[in-house]
Structure 1
């Protein structure tokens, strides 16, 4: 039988990824190999390799993180979460999303407290959000104040997502479209219970704050 060169390249690439992960966090090597070979297409391996490096860095930054990860991945609940992590990472389309996923699963699998249901719930919520919706949720993580430098900096970094939309009659179609997207993002966060709103204001919920704390680098809030 003639060997398929594309299949061979995929197998070689998979082996290279697994070797890299075994060197960084040896305990997850066999589990990664099983998931990769079974459910992750070859073209997504580069993203997965990038995520594994980020995940390894996060785990090693936690005191006793590697030991806790080792112990937990020997359980059905731990291996279930690892599979979720690998699948989510293979679908990620931005560096920021990979970093957030690395934080979420490093905290969940190697942090002090291990609650399978909590990590599973947060993972499912995160998977239902776009990068823009995560940015909007993070914007609400700090109480808005007049002339807040933190909110101003976020708005300058993500103007298309956070800059207020002109609702005046006769606004250009591009502004109307941007407003429709902003409204949809906010509605999604409200529907999922991550934001709450009354007649006067919108604020983050306890669930929304829990998710932000797990996926956003704490240094983002320094000096806010």
Structure 2
């Protein structure tokens, strides 16, 4: 059985009471709790995952294809010992692509937006071809929404708020080009962001206690 495993480690190096550490592994969720989290704990966690979870599910981790990405905003980050997996050190990555979204260790989104812009511009060719065939405006709008707008809004609730004005302008130019081809106005990038943010907030509010099963109203007092 061949499968790709991705996990996110949410941790803090401060000695806080009840510090929580969570590892998300697709499609299985593993949770760990510790009073203080040290880098060596990651190696221990990886060994536990490889020795227990993978063996149970007939999987095997490839240390040569496993990388780690550390997000650290301190001016002088302390040197970290490498994570050891199968007696081999895990290499560090500057960025990685997850579900079509490029995430960098600086949490900058220029690389991701550049990739989205390129994909959207490539699909503009098909919109222009459909325009040459004299398709009605409604069908052109449907094609734009399904093929081009879906690219521009991929994970938009995650990265747009932190995007630079220059990067936003690049995406908006794609929308303006589509408006000229179709011949009607289309939702702007900001309007798409607001609508999807509201939709996401509504889903979170409706499913609040599933996301935080231990949350109670006493936590807000």
Q: Taking structure 2 as the reference length, what is the TM-score of the superposition?
A: 0.28
Higher relative contact order (CA 8 A, sep 6+): 1
- Largest Rg, 1 or 2: 2
Q: Which has the higher helix share?
A: 1
Q: Which has the higher strand share?
A: 2
